[in-house]
Amino acid sequence: MQRHTMYFTGNVQGVGFRVTAKRCAERYDLTGCVSNLPNGQVMLVAEGHIWEIGYMLIDLMTELAGHITEIDMTIEPGIVPGCSSFEIVGLTEEERECLDSKR
């Protein structure tokens, strides 16, 4: 098991990045979180098997082609205890309702 922390640069805010990331992460049963940063980047933390994280990243890059210009990544062994799902950090109430209605 590994923990990958990724910082995405490009046109990554306001394009559905966090919702897409959550859907891709859940497809592979990954845990972690995704959030917008004040500098315009998106931070994504994914925990799981390396091949699952790799497939999630391929799916994310395919679905958001043209929006991502750079990815900075750090990899750590192991996972953080207590993380049992993949969450979007900083959702507005309107975004949360929209996400819930799509389930």
**Measured distance CA(17)–CA(69) in Å, rounded:** 13
Active-site pick, 3, 11, 23, 36: 36
Q: Is 39 an annotated catalytic residue? A: no
Is residue 11 annotated as a catalytic residue, yes or no?
no
**Of residues 3, 11, 18, 96, which has the active-site annotation?**
18
- The three-class DSSP label of residue 21 is helix
Closest CA to 64 of 20, 7, 9, 19: 20
Active site residues: 18, 36
